[in-house]
């Protein structure tokens, strides 16, 4: 499958759309066709442009982040784990690559899962409350309570990228020769790791350069409203 077809398939699966490439992403109720086109462009081009996503509402960005989290946990990580299991059977039990394949990747999965769960539990619900409060006054008190427990600054303090760790695993694997009995499994695994690394890169850029700046701006505006209300009382 050509690289652009594979990228198309990876993005489409997040929206339960037909994974086969076409001239334009398929239209479906509740799916923003232009947003998906911007996503595909981000995957295909070498440089990421946050400006491509500036026109889109924050709720659409949050939805993409959540869909991507589910895609990683339910599909990508299990697929890579299965490839590692199959490849492991082609090495001697004491081969050093098994430590990388099994132990390091298992630890990486745990770290990434924890990272995702924290965002799903804290960051994304907080941003939803920010957005709701900016759209409707009756949600303002919900945001005020949430803001006492969490903030974008707290997220940034605890945040770290995960694609560099995956790159380290992939580059370490490349130091070893593929198994004589099945070189194709070795190549498949490296391709899976490389495409997942690229996916994580786009995901991180959308989160850090699109979602967080939009949320910080919204947070600042709401803080201004709180301060103005305090001066009036």
Q: Report pLDDT for 29.
A: 53
Enter the pTM of the model: 0.85
Task: Based on the fold, state whether residues 106 and 201 are members of the same structural domain.
Answer: yes
Task: Based on the fold, state whether residues 27 and 122 are members of the same structural domain.
Answer: no
Task: Based on the fold, state whether residues 11 and 111 are members of the same structural domain.
Answer: no
Task: Based on the fold, state whether residues 74 and 4 are members of the same structural domain.
Answer: no
Task: Based on the fold, state whether residues 23 and 118 are members of the same structural domain.
Answer: no
Report the Cα 226 to chain-centroid distance in Å.
32
Range of the domain at 23: 1-47
pLDDT tier, 202 (very low <50, low <70, confident <90, very high otherwise):
very high
Quickly list DSSP for 162-211: SHHHHHHHHHHHTTSPPPSS-HHHHHHHHHHHHHHHHHHHHHHHHIIIII
Task: Based on the fold, state whether residues 114 and 184 are members of the same structural domain.
Answer: yes
Task: Based on the fold, state whether residues 168 and 102 are members of the same structural domain.
Answer: yes
Q: Report pLDDT for 2.
A: 41
Task: Based on the fold, state whether residues 138 and 171 are members of the same structural domain.
Answer: yes
Task: Based on the fold, state whether residues 188 and 218 are members of the same structural domain.
Answer: yes
Task: Based on the fold, state whether residues 114 and 226 are members of the same structural domain.
Answer: yes
Least confident of 32-41, 106-115, 135-144, 200-209: 135-144
pLDDT tier, 1 (very low <50, low <70, confident <90, very high otherwise):
very low
Task: Based on the fold, state whether residues 89 and 178 are members of the same structural domain.
Answer: yes
In the chain, how many domains are there? 2
Task: Based on the fold, state whether residues 223 and 127 are members of the same structural domain.
Answer: yes
- What tokens were used for 90? 């082609």
Is 233 buried (19+), middle (13-18) or exposed (0-12) by CB count in 10 A?
Answer: exposed
Work out the average pLDDT over 125-154: 80
Work out the average pLDDT over 52-77: 95
pLDDT in tens, 22-36: 545 555 556 788 898
Q: What is the largest CA-CA distance in the chain?
A: 77
């Amino acid at each position: 499958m050509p690289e652009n077809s594979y990228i198309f398939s990876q993005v489409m699966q997040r929206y339960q759309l037909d994974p086969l490439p076409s001239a334009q992403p398929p239209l479906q109720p509740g799916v923003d066709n232009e947003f998906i086109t911007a996503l595909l462009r981000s995957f295909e081009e070498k440089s990421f442009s946050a400006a491509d996503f500036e026109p889109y509402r924050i709720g659409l960005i949050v939805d993409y982040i959540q869909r991507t989290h589910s895609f990683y946990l339910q599909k990508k990580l299990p697929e890579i784990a299965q490839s590692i299991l199959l490849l492991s059977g082609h090495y001697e039990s004491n081969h050093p690559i098994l430590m990388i394949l099994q132990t390091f990747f298992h630890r990486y999965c745990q770290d990434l899962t924890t990272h995702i769960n924290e965002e799903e539990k804290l960051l994304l619900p907080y941003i939803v409350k920010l957005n709701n409060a900016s759209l409707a006054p009756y949600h303002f008190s919900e945001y005020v309570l949430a803001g006492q427990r969490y903030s974008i600054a707290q997220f940034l303090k605890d945040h770290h990228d995960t694609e560099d760790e995956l790159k380290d695993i992939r580059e370490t694997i490349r130091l070893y020769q593929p198994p004589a009995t099945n070189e194709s499994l070795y190549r498949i695994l490296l391709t899976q790791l490389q495409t997942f690394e690229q996916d994580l890169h786009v995901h991180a850029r959308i989160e850090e350069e699109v979602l967080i700046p939009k949320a910080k701006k919204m947070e600042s505006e709401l803080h201004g409203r709180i301060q103005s209300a305090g001066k009036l009382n």
